[in-house]
Structure formats: C-alpha cells, structure tokens
Amino acid sequence: MRAEAAALLRAAPAVGLPFGDEHRRWIEYRPRPRPGVSLGALDPAARKTAHRLLATALRPHAFAQVSVILALEEVLDREEGYRRGRHSNDYWVVVFGTPEPGRRWGWRFEGHHLSVTMTLDGDTVHPTPVFLGANPLATRHRGRVVTRPLAPEEDLGWAVLDAVPAGLRDRVVRAPAAPPDIRSGPRAAVPPVPPGVPAVELPDPARHLLDDLVAVYLERLPADIAPAVDRDALSFAWEGATERTGRHYYRVQGPDLLIEYDNTADDLNHAHTVLRRPDSDFGGDVLAGHRAEWHGTGPDRGQ
C-alpha cells in the first residue's frame, strides 16, 4: 500500500490531502461531490496506479466484484437514458497524509456504490469501512444471469434465514418492514442498532451458513489485514419480507463488527452491503460520542 500510494502521489500530487483533513472519516456511496481526484482526471498511467492501490486492499474475487460495480455505472446510465451522465471513471481516489514507514496515513477509493477506506498506523492496517453496492443487482437474459456481482452476499443471507427454525423465526425477523437503507448509512459514526439472535442459539445448519456469510465479507480483504472475529459473539437479524418478492435487510454484528445488506428499492434490483468495525473504522478514532450525534434513518434511496 505504501509503495502504490507513493507512486500515485508522484504521478498525481493533487490526490494528496493532510491526514487531519475533515473528509478523512467519511463514507459516501451516493453520487455526491467528494474529495480527491477522479479516475477520469488521471492520465492512463496514474489511473492504473490507482487501480493497483485498490487491489492491495482486496482479494482477487473482491477486486472482480468491484470492477463489475464500476462498469455497472455505464449500464445504469444507459437504463436511465443517459440523463444523469454517470460513467465508470467517476470514482475518486485520495491519499491522506504521507505514506512512509512509521507514519499514520490512509487512503480511499470511492464513488457510486463503492467506498473502500484503509487507514495505516505504521505496519498496522485498519481495513474498514468497505462498502459494495450494485444497481442493477442482477442482469438477466432469457431467464439466465449475465452479471450478479453480489450473488454470495445475497444468496447466503437468504440461506441463513431459510435455515432458521420456526421457533426462532420471530426473534430473528425483527420487523415486518425493511429500513430504507443500511442503518449505518453514509456517515462516519455508526448508530447503535439492536442485536439479533446470538449465533450460539442457532441450530447447526443455520450457524454454519452464518459462518459462511461472515466469511464472504471478511474475505473481501487479504488474509493478513482481515480482522479476527469471535464467531460465537455474533448475532443475526432480519427485517422485511421473508420471501424473495419483498424488500429485505439483514445484519450481522458483534464486538467491533457490523455487516449489513439491504435490497429495498422498488424493483428489488438495487442492493447495498457494508463491512464496518464501529470502534475502529478509519483507524479507531471514531469515538463513541459521535454515535450520540447521529440522527435520522438513512439517505434517500432514489439515487
């Protein structure tokens, strides 16, 4: 990460901001103005360096997911009649601080339906938040899937719910209606959310599937920076429809871990997912007091 970030700064000094910049503790996955430099403003060599920096934070399969998400901006733009001017180079990269050994610094690669933030303190990497979304969630032709970048996150969430026995279903399904968006939203601080059913209370089929679901999110990250998680301390919650024909949301949470998924747009073809560590996002300096300042239920979904 240090090598690629330094190379990017040499190629495009404008991507650099101070580590103390007010925008460092940021997650914004909507099409909004953001700090840094867009891929479209970089020359081809610098653009490739930005992609290489992003690749240092993701395993190959997750990098493939992200590459499809970027390309979906062109698909969505076509579906919308090109009226909003979306494009696959409207993703922005920024480096906070100086990427040198022993220094505290960070970087972010972000745009519509994507936000990957890494914060480094010497050789320690704080690898969250990591947000991946997709619109369209799936593209089909003649009844067959052409692209579905978040298929594991979607399919395993349903599999966990389907494996929950009837006696626990009322406790797992916390509300009949899904929230309008992931509850953590596009904010630095994470609001408190009620826990679901503890993993240790789930029968083996559901528990094993929950472990698989958590692995999907943690294994977005390379093994040497993925956080260690106490799987026995996790819980699972669902909100919304329990059939695939309705809006739905799930979350997995535990000590310093929050995983969220939602599919709540009108056409059920627009999903958000996020991996966060509420106590150590952005390097652990998002204080608990910030949560008390959080208000509202989420952004307008019509983006």
Residues 288 and 174 in one domain: yes
- Give 134 or 294, the one with higher predicted confidence: 134
Above 50 in pLDDT, residue 74? yes
* Residues 63 and 96 grouped into a single domain: yes
Q: Domain check: are 159 and 270 in the same one?
A: yes
- Residue 55 falls inside a structural domain: yes
- Mean pLDDT to the nearest integer, 125-147: 97
Q: What is the mean pLDDT of residues 63-83?
A: 98
Instruction: Find the farthest-apart pair of alpha carbons in the chain and give their distance in angstroms, rounded.
Output: 60
Clarify whether residues 92 and 196 are in a common domain: no
Contact 85, 248 (CB under 8 A): no
**pLDDT band at residue 292 using 50, 70 and 90 as cut-offs:** very low
Shared-domain flag, residues 120 and 165: no
Does a structural domain hold residue 142?
A: no
Residues 116 and 200 both lie in one domain? no
Residue where a domain stops, chosen among 77, 95, 126: 126
What is the chain's percent helix, strand, coil content, to nearest 5? 30, 25, 45
Read off the pLDDT band of 285 (50, 70, 90).
low
Asked if residue 94 is part of any domain, the answer here is yes
Indicate the pLDDT class of residue 194, thresholds 50, 70 and 90: confident
Nearest to 271 by CA among 3, 65, 90: 65
Position 139 in a domain: no
Give the per-residue pLDDT at 303.
Answer: 54
Q: Evaluate if residue 6 carries a pLDDT over 90.
A: yes
160 in the same domain as 122: no
Asked whether residue 207 falls in the same domain as residue 110, the answer is no
Same domain, 288 and 164: yes
Q: Which two tokens stand for residue 135?
A: 């619109």
pLDDT at 302 over 70: no
Place of tokens 């690629």: 4
pTM, two decimal places: 0.93
Residue 84 has pLDDT above 80, yes or no: yes
| CA 213 – CA 19 distance, rounded (Å) | 34
- Answer whether residue 136 is part of any domain: no
Pairing mode, if any, of strands 235-240 and 197-198? antiparallel
Q: Which of 64, 95, 126 is the last residue of a domain?
A: 126
217 in the same domain as 120: no
CA–CA distance, 203 with 236 (Å, rounded to integer):
13
User: 157: buried, middle or exposed (CB in 10 Å: 19+, 13-18, 0-12)?
Assistant: buried
- Same domain for 170 and 231? yes
Shared domain for 115 and 153, answered yes or no, is: no
Lowest mean pLDDT among 46-50, 183-187, 228-232: 183-187
Report whether pLDDT(294) > 70.
no
Q: How many domains does the chain have?
A: 2
**What average pLDDT score do residues 31-52 get?**
97
Is residue 34 assigned to a domain? yes
Entry field: residues in the chain: 303
Nearest-10 Cα torsion for 61, 67, 70, 75? -100
Residue 187 placed within a domain: yes
Structural domain range at position 223 = 148-292
pLDDT band at 178; cut points 50, 70, 90? very high
Q: Is residue 243 part of a domain?
A: yes
Q: Residue 193's pLDDT band (boundaries 50, 70, 90)?
A: confident
